[in-house]
Amino acid sequence: MKSGYVAVIGRPNVGKSTLINALLCQKVAAVSPKAQTTRRQQLGILTRADAQIVFVDTPGIHQPHHKLGEILNQQAEDSLAHVEAIVWMVAVSEEPTDDDRRIAAYLAQLKKHAPLILTANKLDLVQPEELPAKIAPYADLVPKAEVISVSASQSLGLDALLEAIIAHLPQREADYDPDQVTDYYERDIAAELIRESCLFHLHDEIPHGVHVRMDEFTERNESGALIAATIFVERESQKGIVIGEGGRMLKKIGIHARAEIESMSNRKIRLELRVKVLKDWRNNEEFLRRFGFKLDNKKRR
C-alpha cells in the first residue's frame, strides 16, 4: 500500500475543486465560475487497492485586498509544509497571470518542497497541435516540474495524473477508512453548497462578500433533514439584491442549493434561508475568527 498527502494549489478559479471532485467521482467541494470559491482547506480522500491519496484542496493564491484574502493565501501556502507531492494547476488555455507568476516565485524561494507536478488544466479548450506552445510559458516558470495535461471538467488525463502522483508516495498504511472521501462533515458541505449557489446566481460584485452560517441541521427520520442557514452580506444594498424582488432571488438560490444538497446526501431536504448584514466582515478579525478562519498575525503579510 502507498499512501500520502498531495497539495493542490493554483490561482483562483483554475479548476482545483473540479479536479478533486472528478478524481473522487463524487462532489465534495464547491465549484463555480467565480474566483475564490474555495475558502477553507479541505481533504479529498481517494482510496484504491494499491494506494490512498489524500488531496488537500486549498484556496486560490492571489493578490489579497482584505484580511480574508491574506488568510486564504496563508492557508494555501501552509498546505505545502507536510505533503508528499504538489499539484500546481494552471489554465493551459490562457497565458500565465500575475498570480501564476507569484506562485512560481513562491515555490522557487522555498528551500525545500515536495516533488512538483505542473498540471495543465483545460486541455479541451486547446487544439492538440497548440498544446506544447501553450504549456511552455508555464514550464519555463518551474523547469524541474513534471508536466501532465488534463481536463478536470471532461475527466481527461486523470489516470496519468494519478499514476504520476502515486509514484511519489511512500509505502505505508492508509490514514483513513476506505469509505471516507473527505474530512468535512455533511453540514459543512451543505454550507459550501449554499454559498456555491450564491456564487452562481448573484452579480460579480456580491458573491465574495457572502458567508453562510449553518443555524440548524436536524434529521427528521424518513422525511429527510431540516437545514436552516443565514447568508451574511457586507452592505444593506447587497441584502436587497440577495433577497430580490418579492424574495425571488433568495428562492432561486434556495432551490438550486437544495437540489445540490439532496444529490450529495441522497435524501430529501427542507431548506430555510435568511439574509443578514454584517458590515465589512472580511476585514474584521473578530468576525473572521467567529466564522472559523484562523488568523496568524506573525505570518500574515
CATH number of the structural domain spanning residue 157? 3.40.50.300
Across 200-238, b (16+ Cβ under 10 Å) vs e yields bbbeeebbbbbbbbeeebeeeeeebbebebbbbbbeeeb
According to DSSP, the residues that pair with 213 across neighbouring strands are 230
Residue 10 placed within a domain: yes
- Considering the domain architecture, whether residues 220 and 275 belong to the same structural domain is answered as yes
Residue 179 placed within a domain: no
**pLDDT for the residue numbered 70:** 61
Average pLDDT of every residue of the chain: 83
pLDDT in tens, 47-88: 999 999 999 877 655 455 455 556 555 665 666 778 899 999
- Considering the domain architecture, whether residues 193 and 129 belong to the same structural domain is answered as no
- Considering the domain architecture, whether residues 197 and 111 belong to the same structural domain is answered as no
- Per the structure, how many domains does the chain have? 2
- Considering the domain architecture, whether residues 284 and 247 belong to the same structural domain is answered as yes
pLDDT in tens, 222-257: 778 899 999 998 888 889 999 999 999 999 999 999
**pLDDT for the residue numbered 68:** 55
Compute the distance between CA of residue 150 and CA of residue 161 in angstroms, rounded to an integer: 8
Amino acid at 72: L
**pLDDT for the residue numbered 56:** 85
According to DSSP, the residues that pair with 229 across neighbouring strands are 214, 273
Domain limit, last residue, from 166, 198, 227: 166
**pLDDT for the residue numbered 34:** 40
pLDDT in tens, 159-176: 999 999 999 999 999 998
Distances (CA, A) of 252 to 36, 170, 222, 259: 22, 47, 26, 11
- Considering the domain architecture, whether residues 20 and 85 belong to the same structural domain is answered as yes
Residue 33, pLDDT > 50, answer: no
**pLDDT for the residue numbered 35:** 41
Range(s) of the domain holding residue 154: 2-166
Domain limit, last residue, from 166, 198, 213: 166
Mean pLDDT of 171-190: 86
- Considering the domain architecture, whether residues 82 and 199 belong to the same structural domain is answered as no
Residue pair 170/84 in contact by the 8 Å Cβ criterion: yes
Residue 206 placed within a domain: yes
Residue 295 placed within a domain: no
- Considering the domain architecture, whether residues 21 and 109 belong to the same structural domain is answered as yes
Residue 273 placed within a domain: yes
Closest CA to 91 of 22, 149, 156, 38: 149
- Considering the domain architecture, whether residues 233 and 128 belong to the same structural domain is answered as no
- Considering the domain architecture, whether residues 161 and 71 belong to the same structural domain is answered as yes
Compute the distance between CA of residue 152 and CA of residue 18 in angstroms, rounded to an integer: 6
**pLDDT for the residue numbered 65:** 46
Residue 219, pLDDT > 50, answer: yes
Residue 147 placed within a domain: yes
Mean pLDDT of 255-264: 90
Higher confidence at residue 146 or residue 62? 146
- Considering the domain architecture, whether residues 141 and 211 belong to the same structural domain is answered as no
Residue 145, pLDDT > 60, answer: yes
**pLDDT for the residue numbered 245:** 92
- Considering the domain architecture, whether residues 42 and 106 belong to the same structural domain is answered as yes
Residue 181 placed within a domain: no
Domain limit, last residue, from 133, 166, 199: 166
- Considering the domain architecture, whether residues 13 and 149 belong to the same structural domain is answered as yes
To the question of pTM greater than 0.75 for the whole model, the response is no
**pLDDT for the residue numbered 40:** 56
**pLDDT for the residue numbered 97:** 93
